[in-house]
Amino acid sequence: MTGNDRIKKIIAEGESESLEFKRSLSELKEILETVCAFANSHRGTVLVGIYDDRCMQRSRPSRS
């Protein structure tokens, strides 16, 4: 399994107590809050560039 395959699998599983999606670095405050929350609990992963509906930022359909 390649690294891309692993990331796609993680994204397909969706957000959880240990996985959070953020659209972009423009959400820096929220990213840092999530990192702090994960640091104060067991641990977790933040994926930047992923929408809540599991679409990657560059592959998200444009809205006309």
- d(CA 34, CA 10) in angstroms, rounded, equals 17
Among 47, 60, 61, 34, which residue's Cα sits nearest to residue 8? Answer: 47
Mean pLDDT of the chain: 87
> What integer pLDDT is reported at residue 63 of this predicted model?
55
CB count, 10 Å around CB of 25?
A: 9
User: Which pLDDT does position 23 carry in this prediction?
Assistant: 93
pLDDT grade for 56, boundaries at 50, 70 and 90 = confident
- Give CA–CA dist 32/37, Å, rounded: 9
For 15-51, write each residue's pLDDT tens digit. Answer: 999 999 999 999 999 999 999 999 999 899 999 999 8
Question: Can you give the residue ranges of every domain in the chain?
Answer: 3-59
Q: What percent of the chain has pLDDT over 90?
A: 64
